[in-house]
Amino acid sequence: MTGKKREAEPAYQVLSNQLRQDIAGGLYDNGAKLPTEAELSERYEVSRQTVRRAFVDLVAAGIVYRVPGRGTFVNESGGRYLRQQGSIQDLLNLSTDTTMEVVSPLSRRIDVEAASRLRLDSDVVYTMVFRRMHDGIPFVLTTVHLPEHTAKLVLSAPEVAAGAVSTYTMIGLLEPHLDSPISEAAQSITVDAANGLDSAHLGCTEGHPVLRIDRLYTDAAGVARELSVSHYLPEHYTYRVTLQRA
């Protein structure tokens, strides 16, 4: 990397991406202190303001944390993909540094359980399976169920076709077509065992422990719009939420 500006992205983002690669590559161990702003500024021939903005980006992504008067340290995440997820916006922000790869395209099916959880009158749902990648590594396989009236809004979108690869999230695809924005995601977290589909697309063995996260998304009008069931590989993913006193 050089300190010169690239046309495609600002200097702080170039530096942020470089530091992400260095951390993922093991140049800085978990919990290690990063070089100071002055040291990085000199090393990469950028201003200290650029370094400061790169640090802000890394802190927001949960990759590093800052201790006033002491410095900036790598989060002890074991090299896993880590992102703060405490709001709908945090879930939408998955599109900033991961990609969605469609395994099974959006298609009509009968699923009594999914339809019941979506509070539908009929048993018809539209289902899609995709995996999400970070730096070329698959870390989650997700099965999404949509009500028919919701699915038809994006059924012709190229992002939901077989083999499609994009940076979108499903709610990111849906929201521009909804009369009311997604306002809530009711979430449950349990431990599960990897199935054959997980094994094929996440590179793990069947029965391997996975983190299962179910989310039921509803819009501001109270209409259930999406049910997602995700299996995360614990060796490649860390879930973090900051709890605050009311």
What is the full DSSP assignment across 119-152? T-SSSEEEEEEEEEEETTEEEEEEEEEEEHHHHT
pLDDT digits 0-9 by tens, 46-64:
999 999 999 988 887 778 8
Over residues 126-185, the pLDDT tens digits come to 999 999 998 888 999 999 999 999 999 999 999 999 999 999 999 999 999 999 999 999
Contacts of 245 by beta carbon, 8 Å cutoff, 6+ apart: none
Give pLDDT tens digits for 35-46. 999 999 999 999
What pLDDT score does 43 carry? 93
pLDDT value at 89 more than 90: no
Do 184 and 218 touch, CB atoms closer than 8 A? Answer: yes
Which residue's structure tokens are 């990897």?
194
- 31 vs 19: which has the higher pLDDT: 19
pLDDT tens digit string along 189-232? 999 999 999 999 999 999 999 999 999 999 999 999 999 999 99
List, in order of start, the domains of the chain with CATH numbers.
11-74 (1.10.10.10), 81-240 (3.40.1410.10)
Residues whose CB falls within 8 Å of the CB of residue 237, separated by 6 or more in sequence, listed in order = 80, 81, 82, 139, 140, 211
The two structure tokens encoding residue 204 = 């793990």
